[in-house]
Structures are given as C-alpha cells and as structure tokens.
Amino acid sequence: MRRAIRGLAAGLAVTGVLAADPAAGQPAGANYDEAKVPAYTLPDPLRFVDGGAVQEARDWTDRRRAEVLRLFETHVYGRSPGPPTAMRFVVVETDPRALGGLATRRQVRVLLDGTETGPAFEILLYVPKAAPRPVPAFLGLNFDGNHTVHPDPGIRLSTAWVGEGPGVVDGRATDAARGTDAASWPVERILDRGYALATAYYGDLEPDRADGWKDGIRSRLGPGVSGRFGPDDWGAIGAWAWGLSRALDVLATDPDVDGRRVAVIGHSRLGKTALWAGASDERFAMVVANDSGEGGAALARRQFGETTEVITRVFPHWFCARYRQYAGREDALPVDQHLLLALVAPRPLYVASATEDLWADPRGEFLAAKAAEPVYRLLGRDGLGVEDLPVPDRPVGKTIGYHRRRGSHALVAYDWEQYLDFADRHLLAGAQHLRPASPR
Ligand code: GTR
C-alpha cells in the first residue's frame, strides 16, 4: 500500500521485528504493550473550563461546543480564516457519459481569490446517473492527485507538485500515475450505491512537507503570510480542512448533489483532516475517519503507538506551533481527541482502525469514540452501543460507528462497504438532523 505509514522513513527508523510480534512492521521505539500504558485522566466533555457542569443540550450547543472548538484552534490545529469573499469556480470539464455511462463526471477549478493566477484547487466529481437527484455525496481529499483515484483517461492529470510514487517523474505526474490509488477509491461501487464522489488533491492546497506552506494556500491567504505563523495560526491540517469546506461550498451549489447530505471522509493524515473539517464545519452531515491515529481519533494521553512528541517532531507543519509544547506533557493539554469527536455530535461519525495499524492505536481510537458518547447522549443520540473494543471485522455502532478491520494501515473496499452501509442508515433514512449547507 502506498499510504502505509508514509513519510515516517524521513524521521524514524522502521525496523523489522520477529514476525510473531504483533508490532512487527510498526515503527520502532514506540510502546506497543498494553500493560505499559500509564494511567491517564481525560478532560470531561461535560464540564466547562471554569468547572461548571454542562447539564442540558443547550449548554453544549450554545457554549461548551464553541469553547471546545476554540481550544482545538488555540492548542492543536490553529485558527483558519473565514470563507474567502472573492472565491469563484469554473467548470473546466463535463462528461455526461463517463465510466461507460454510469456517471456524469465534472471537474471544477476553484479560484480561491477569484483570479486565474491566485491559489486554486481542482475538484473531481462523479454523480451516478441512476440515482434520484439531488444525491448524497462522499467528499475526501486524495494523496497523489485526482488522476490516481481511477484509471478514467478523462480525469485531468494534476500539474501540481506530487510526492514520489508510481508514474511520478521529478515531482510531476505522468500518465503512468493514472489509477495508481484506485484501491482506495472504489468509484463504481460508491456510484452503484447511489452516492456521488467528490475528491481533490491535498497538495493543491498545500504540498505535504515542512516548507510546503510556501507553495500552498497558507502563503497566499493569511494569517501567517510570509511564514510568520503565530502560535495558534493554522497548520497544514487546518489548510487542508479549510479546502474541504471550500469544496463543500461548491458542491452545495451543484443541483445534482444534495449539499445537506455530504459525508467528509479521509484516511490517515487525511482522516485527521476529515475530523477537523467535520468538527469545525457543521454543514458536513457525516464524518468518516479511517485509520486517523495520533492527532486524529486516537487519544493523545494514551501512550501507545505514535505520540505527540513524535508527530510534532516529524510533521511539525501539520499542527499549530503551540501543539509542540505538549510533546511529552499531554496531561497539560486542555483537550484530548475524544473532544474532537464530540464536536461532530449529534451528526453521524464513523471511526475505523486496522488490526495491524498499532502505530495509530486502534484501542485509543475506540476509547476516544467511547469517551465522546456522553455528548451524543446529551444531544439525544446514541453512541457506539457496545462497551468493549469489538473483535476484528465486526462493525458496531449506532450514531457513532466503529470497526477494526483485519489488516494494515489503508483505506480499502471493506472499509468503504461499512461507510456506505452507515451512510444508508444515516443519510438516506430520516434526515432530521441535517443542516442547510449554503455557502457560509
Ligand atoms: C505517518 C504518521 C501518521 C499517519 C500516517 C499517514 O507517518 O505518523 O500519523 O498520518 O503517516 O498519513 O499515512
């Protein structure tokens, strides 16, 4: 899998361990022993910073939610700007008979400051022909360019910088890169199930490297223009998540797509991004975090697999500068990742892990979902519906879904099947919790 703990080689030694070791193939130097996880106490979702109790749904929606969101902006992901006033988009390509007539394909260039030469990104959208309009949609960023999600020759080849991989020559995509990440994007299956799929290349928004901001939207749209980022100015995850909100602005104007039923999805670092997008933008009707791990669904206080110290050292650009201060002192953080999940409430949330992906701490992801339940309950929803980490390949959950797929760190067809089933339950049935999704 191309996505397997990518980028780690740069900062960490990945060593081979005995095959019988469940942590074999996982980055060395981390704790993978449940017995060695020190005790920790999570911040109470239902207690204000001043110690007061959050008693009613109103207390959460009117005050505590904003307080928690602010804490994540201040300490973890940084603050992002509002929607850009001059943004406009251009439909650069449409094919009403794409994929052998299964879908309409549209490619949309989003001009973030309204100019052709300013910061921009490109959305690839497939809308199933057979489904009644407007259709619900999945929206997710991809790792290597829109042309990698399917071999469809009609997809425009990304002209942006792309990381090393098949079909990439000197940081640029060639035709040989088409469809190279198709295993992560079962496009026909998604369309057959009645959902549109929209995706954009995360590198259009910001190339994923320490100095990527220079070539990304953070250098063009403040705060932090010219690299002077304050302690709580947005990091790359903030920029990518902000891009997802801009993609939703565009989808909400598309007559074929129901902007009130858009699920945001992401894998790994883009799972962290999907969570932050869904937490900060309540127009997303559903949120899916696949193997999102540290800085995503996994609890920061739980010392298992990747830690705050490692992630802020190897990927300093992902978070706001202040987050690094919590390396090795997670107890001082006023939040933990269960509160990020709680920010999605009462909307449907799916957290998924993989058995071999110990670096992402599957149990820590499950426990974060569990610890978000009190907020779902306060808002009149149910949560996971189980007490303990489920056995592999057994999906569980009510308004919060969870599974631990047998296998490694990846987004695969099995994961998508669970997300499609979950979306059927939440986006096709009674849609009473859905919010209007007009551009903000
Ligand atoms: C790893 C990183 C993880 C995860 C992964 C990925 O190197 O340590 O937090 O995000 O990358 O995005 O594939």
What DSSP string runs through 204-216? HH--SSTTGGGGS
Q: Which of 1, 76, 359, 361 to mutate to test the pocket of ligand 1 (most atoms within 8 A of CB)?
A: 359
Q: Is the CB of 6 inside a 6 Å radius of any atom of ligand 1?
A: yes
Rounded CA separation 274/242 (Å)? 10
Q: Is the CB of 144 inside a 6 Å radius of any atom of ligand 1?
A: no
Q: Which of 141, 142, 269 to mutate to test the pocket of ligand 1 (most atoms within 8 A of CB)?
A: 269
The average pLDDT across 295-311 equals: 98
pLDDT for residue 432: 43
Percentage of residues in the chain having pLDDT higher than 90? 89
Cα 438 to middle of ligand 1, angstroms:
33
Q: Is the CB of 293 inside a 6 Å radius of any atom of ligand 1?
A: yes
Question: Do residues 258 and 134 touch, judged by C-beta distance below 8 A?
Answer: yes
pLDDT for residue 170: 95
Confidence class for position 2, pLDDT limits 50, 70, 90: very low
Rounded to a whole number of angstroms, the CA Rg of the chain reads 20
pLDDT for residue 326: 98
Rounded CA separation 151/177 (Å)? 9
Structure tokens at 231: 């302690």
The active-site residue out of 267, 403, 409, 426 is 409
Cα 225 to middle of ligand 1, angstroms:
26
Residue at 125: amino acid letter: L
Closest CA to 40 of 302, 337, 327: 302
Q: Give the full edge-to-edge strand order of the sheet including 400-405.
A: 88-98, 103-111, 120-128, 196-201, 135-142, 257-267, 286-290, 349-354, 400-405, 396-397
Question: Do residues 241 and 273 touch, judged by C-beta distance below 8 A?
Answer: yes
Residue written as tokens 């892990």?
353
Sign, CA dihedral 258-126-265-78, equals negative
Residues 6+ apart with CB under 8 A from 334: 43, 49, 71, 75
For the chain, give percent helix, strand, coil, nearest 5.
35, 20, 50
Catalytic residue status for 267: no
Closest CA to 195 of 288, 111, 121, 83: 288
Of 116-130, 133-147, 216-230, the range with the lowest mean pLDDT is 216-230
Of 16-25, 189-198, 380-389, 398-407, the range with the lowest mean pLDDT is 16-25
pLDDT for residue 5: 44
What residue owns the CA closest to ligand 1's atom 9?
A: 294
Which tens digits make up the pLDDT trace of 51-95?
A: 999 999 999 999 999 999 999 999 999 999 999 999 999 999 999
Q: What pTM was estimated for this model as a whole?
A: 0.94
What residue owns the CA closest to ligand 1's atom 12?
A: 269
Structure tokens at 199: 């995706």
- CB-hemisphere CA count at 13 Å for 183? 8
| Distances, alpha carbon 198 to alpha carbons 104, 123, 249, 389, 403, in Å | 12, 7, 12, 32, 24
Catalytic residue status for 268: yes
Rounded CA separation 342/370 (Å)? 10
